[in-house]
Structure 1
Amino acid sequence: MRDPAPATPSVEDIRQIAAPLTALEGPMLPMLHAIQAEWGHVPPAAVPALADLLNLGRAEVQGVISFYHDFRDHPAGRQVLRICRAEACQAMGGAGMAAAVLDRLGVDWHGTTADGGVTVEPVYCLGLCACGPAAMLGDRLIGRATAEGLAREVGA
C-alpha cells in the first residue's frame, strides 16, 4: 500500500506517478488524469515534470492542461456540480437557472463555496438535451434541473 500523497507534491512525486505511463501511445492525458486522481488537481510541479518526461516545452504541457476542462489547477470542493451551458439547455432556461445557482452559492464559474463544499463548473453538453436544463453532481446526471433542486442537492 502506498503512503498518502503529500499535500504539495514535488517534481519527483509527480515523476513517480507519471513515469510508468511514458510507454503509452499519447501518454500526456493518462499522466494528467493519474496526477489529478492522486492530488485532486494538477499541481504546478506537474508542468516541468511532464515537460521533462515527454521532451516537450512547458508551454505545450500547460496548453494541454488549460485546454481540457476536466483538469483543474487547484483542488475542487467536496462536491463538483457541473451545469450544462450548451444551446439546448440554454433554450430551456439554463442560463437563468445557472445564474440563480451561482448567486445562491455565492460563487462564479469554477468557484468553490467558502466552506469548500461545492465547486461549480460549466460543461458543454451532458447528453441530456431532451431533458434540459441538465446538470451533473459528481457522477450523477440531473435532467430538468432547477436552481432550487440543485441547491437542495448540494445542501445550500
Structure 2
Amino acid sequence: MKPAKNIAQLPPIDDALRDAVLHVTARLKDQPGALLPVLHGIQEAVGYVPEVAVPLIAREMNLSRADVHGVVSFYHFFRTRPAGRRVLYLCRAESCQAMGAAKLEQHVKQRLGVDFHQTTADGAYTLEPVYCLGNCACSPALMIDDELKGRVTPESFDAWLATEKT
C-alpha cells in the first residue's frame, strides 16, 4: 500500500519546517539509499529531525513512518529535539575507556548537570555519546561541535568550560 499523497492527512507542521523538509527531500530523494542523506540534510537545516516531520519525510520518500522512525531512532547521531548551542560528543569506545573516559564521563555529566542525550537547562550544551571519534592515539577524546580534542582530562574540560563562560 502506498502512503497517502494528501498533505491534509498529515499531522500539523509549521510552514518553515515543511518547506525545509520538502527542499531537502526534493534534492536528495532520488539517490540510491537516500534516507540517510535526507535525514542528515534535515538535521543540518533544522538542527534536529522533529518527530512531527517523520510522516512528511515518509510520504516524500515513499516509505512507511515506521521505516523513517526506525532509522532516526537507531542512529545515535540523529536528534528528535533541538540541541544546545554547543554539542559535546564524548567517545565511549574501547581505547578511550582504557584511558579514563569513564571518569571523564562522570565528571562532564556532573559539571553540566545532564546525562547523555540531554541539554543543559540554559540551552548551552547537549551531551551525546559517540562510539569512536577516530582519535584513539589521543584518548580520551571529546568533540565539541566539529572541533576534536584529545587527551581530555577532567581538568582540561573544566579549563575549556571556564573559557566558554567568559
Q: TM-score, normalised by structure 2?
A: 0.83
Match of 1:146 in 2: 153
User: Do the aligned partners of 1:9 and 1:43 also contact (CA within 8 Å) in 2?
Assistant: no
Q: Which residue of 2 aligns with 1:3?
A: none
Number of residue pairs the alignment of both structures matches: 149
C-alpha root-mean-square deviation of aligned residues, in Å?
1.7
> Residue 56 of structure 1: CA displacement?
1.5
Q: What are the residue-to-residue correspondences of 1:1-150 with 2, within 5 Å?
A: 9=14, 12-13=18-19, 14-150=21-157
Instruction: Pick the structure with greater CA Rg.
Output: 2
- What's the counterpart of residue 4 of structure 1? none
Distance 2:158 2:50 in 1: 30
Structure 1: any 5+ residue segments left out of the alignment? 1-7
CA contact (8 A) 2:25 2:61 kept: no
Distance 2:106 2:39 in 1: 31
1:83-109 CA distances to partner (integer Å, 9 max, x unpaired)? Answer: 110111111111011101100110001
CA contact 1:84–1:123 (8 Å) conserved in 2: yes
Shift in Å, 1:60: 0.8
User: For the Cα contact (< 8 Å) 2:18–2:53, is it kept in 1?
Assistant: no
Residue aligned with 1:133, SS: coil
Read off the aligned partner of 1:131 and give its amino acid letter: C
Identity of aligned residues (%): 52
* Contact residue 89 and residue 133 of structure 1 kept, 8 A: yes
Q: What's the offset of the Cα at 1:28?
A: 0.8
Counterpart residue identity of residue 31, structure 1 = V
Tell me the CA shift for residue 15 of structure 1.
2.3
- Give distance in 2, aligned partners of 1:16 and 1:141: 31
Per-residue Cα deviation, 1:46-75 (whole angstroms, up to 9, x for no partner): 211121122211111001111112210011
Residues of 2 paired with 1:114 and 1:50: CA distance?
30
Runs of 4+ in 1 over 4 A off after TM superposition: none
Letter in 1 for 2:123: G
Q: How far apart are residue 139 of structure 1 and its match? A: 1.0
